[in-house]
Amino acid sequence: MLEAWAPLLSVSAIEPTVRDVPYGEHPRQVLDVFAPEAAANLPILVFVHGGAFVRGDKEQTPLVYANVPAEFSRHGFLAFNVEYRLAPEASWPAGAEDVRDAILWVARHAEKWGGDPTRIFLMGHSAACAHCASAVWDDRVRPPEGLPVAGLALVSPRVVADTRADNPNAHGVRAYYGEDAARYAEREPIGLVRPDAPPTLIALAQYENPLLDFYALELAHRLAAVADQDKGPMPRVIQLMDHNHVSIVAQFSTPCNELGVQMCDWFERVLRGDFGARKLLRSAKAASEVSKSC
């Protein structure tokens, strides 16, 4: 799949502004910076790669995953590509702690490259969604005041600690969450959604890895239930047709990019308050304004 997308990605590839900037002391606690020229007061996108908890790299190939921050850099974001420690060397909650530390580092240093630390969006793919969601939702990881994240985007999210026989990455779940399955429910992010969290976007492919589409939809249902009961933000859910678990990220920075366009729309709506705490529909007046704009 990566080879199939390589010709399109090679045309649009751009080099990071700065590579392997440390946000911690471990060799894998580094990030790449993608800064547009003459950047000032830009929204920020922090991307975290997948890898079933035990593998993966911010440059899985010379083109992927750098294509993701490159995509948003072209759309006027200061973008960061984050590396983190892997299991079994770094077990739960180390991945989430690394994401937390990377976000706090970005908030402190983003202005150097023209970023606005009050407009940070956090995006993860696959297993990294567990780290991103836990960093934002889990009181055992996030700072007491929360993380400075305006919105959370979870792409093909692995948010359940699942060791079923039909999960081809069950070994990674055990390596990160431990062998004691009785602890999984208290550690997996799907059970940690909260009404005071930032708005969440969930994207899934039509042809997902086993079970991930079910878990993505279950997460959306739980977020919607929290929005209904506790006035939290409603999630936005996108299913990318004709894509699978790899192509959903490989398509960024190509002419075939569909998800990036929808994500940019969601970012804009979050920043203007459309995805804040749930409110009653703004009556016929709002509907009339929408119809006029169309």
Give the pLDDT of residue 286: 45
Helix (H) or strand (E) holding 80: strand 78-82
Give the pLDDT of residue 25: 98
Q: What is the DSSP letter of 277?
A: B
Closest C-alpha among 93, 85, 7, 5 to residue 48:
85
CB atoms within 10 A of CB 242: 10
Report the predicted TM-score, pTM, of the whole model to 2 decimal places. Answer: 0.94
Task: Return the SS3 of 254.
Answer: coil
Could you give the CA distance from residue 104 to residue 171 in angstroms, rounded to a whole number? 30
Question: Which tokens in the block code for residue 113?
Answer: 């490259």
Residue-wise burial string across 178-197, b where 16 or more C-beta atoms lie within 10 A, e elsewhere: beeeeebeebbbbebbeeeb
Domains, the chain, ranges and CATH? 2-293 (3.40.50.1820)
Contact partners, residue 97, CB within 8 Å, separation at least 6: 135, 141
Residue-wise burial string across 9-33, b where 16 or more C-beta atoms lie within 10 A, e elsewhere: beebeeebbeeeeebbeeebbbbbb
How far, rounded to the nearest angstrom, does the alpha carbon of residue 107 sit from its chain's CA centroid? 17
Helix (H) or strand (E) holding 48: strand 42-48
Give the pLDDT of residue 279: 53
| H runs (alpha helix) in the chain | 2-12, 67-74, 94-109, 127-137, 170-177, 184-187, 212-230, 247-250, 259-271, 283-293
Is 277 in contact with 233 (CB distance < 8 Å)? yes
User: From first to last of its 294 residues, what are the pLDDT tens digits of the chain?
Assistant: 889 889 899 988 899 999 999 999 999 999 999 999 888 999 999 999 999 999 999 999 999 999 999 999 999 999 999 999 999 999 999 999 999 999 999 999 999 999 999 999 999 999 999 999 999 999 999 999 999 999 999 999 999 999 999 999 999 999 999 999 999 999 999 999 999 999 999 999 999 999 999 999 999 999 999 999 988 899 999 999 999 999 999 999 999 999 999 999 999 999 999 987 655 434 444 444 544 544
CB atoms within 10 A of CB 61: 15
Q: What is the DSSP letter of 112?
A: G
Could you give the CA distance from residue 164 to residue 35 in angstroms, rounded to a whole number? 42
